[in-house]
Amino acid sequence: MDAGTLDLKTIFGQDRRHVVPLYQRPYVGEEKKQWEPLWTDIEAVARRVLADQPTRAHFLGAIVLEQQSKQTGCLETRLVIDGQQRLTTLQLLLEAFADFCKTAGAEQHHKALAKLTRNDDPMNEDPVEQFKVWPTTVDQEAFQAIMDCGSPAELRKRYEADDDAPSVDHPIADAYLSRAARRRERRRWQRRRTTPTSTRARCRRASPP
């Protein structure tokens, strides 16, 4: 067993599968307990980077992986013994960010993020082996839908949800959608900050009672 501190690029930057065993519980991430605190921490680090201020590593918790025997021509595979909730949440966050970058036309960022969510093995014939993390059976269909959809709007269509639905009643899909909702809130806040106070005041006076 190797013990040490690893960053995201080390964990996800190689062509390797992290497979959650069948006996592991399904994904149970929640907005208030997992997604919101993680996103708040990421935003805090991003602000410091943009301000050219020193940053320090953010500890996400321990993961335990068990390396599997590698057959010739197959990707290296490790079973996720502990930490599957964290690894899955990070993949959903990276995928949501990648989809946003693609929609915004930030192609270089999209490609860089794709390297953290997809394995690139030209000899691979099984489509699910492209994913860096593969959840337990009950979550596989929802996870693949997210990785294939390309946008929150398309994911909602697959679940036959309203166009602005914040949830589709599946923890994995809701984790992905929560990041899209947070980005919308951030854009509204930024637009409000860049709108002159006098303009907002005129708009309010012009609004009907």
CA atoms within 13 Å, Cβ hemisphere of 137: 2
This model's pTM is above 0.85: no
Q: Tell me: the pLDDT tens digits for 133-184?
A: 999 999 999 999 999 999 999 999 999 999 888 889 899 999 999 876 555 5
Q: Tell me: the pLDDT tens digits for 105-125?
A: 999 999 999 999 999 988 878
Contact call for residues 95 and 115 (beta carbons, < 8 A)? no
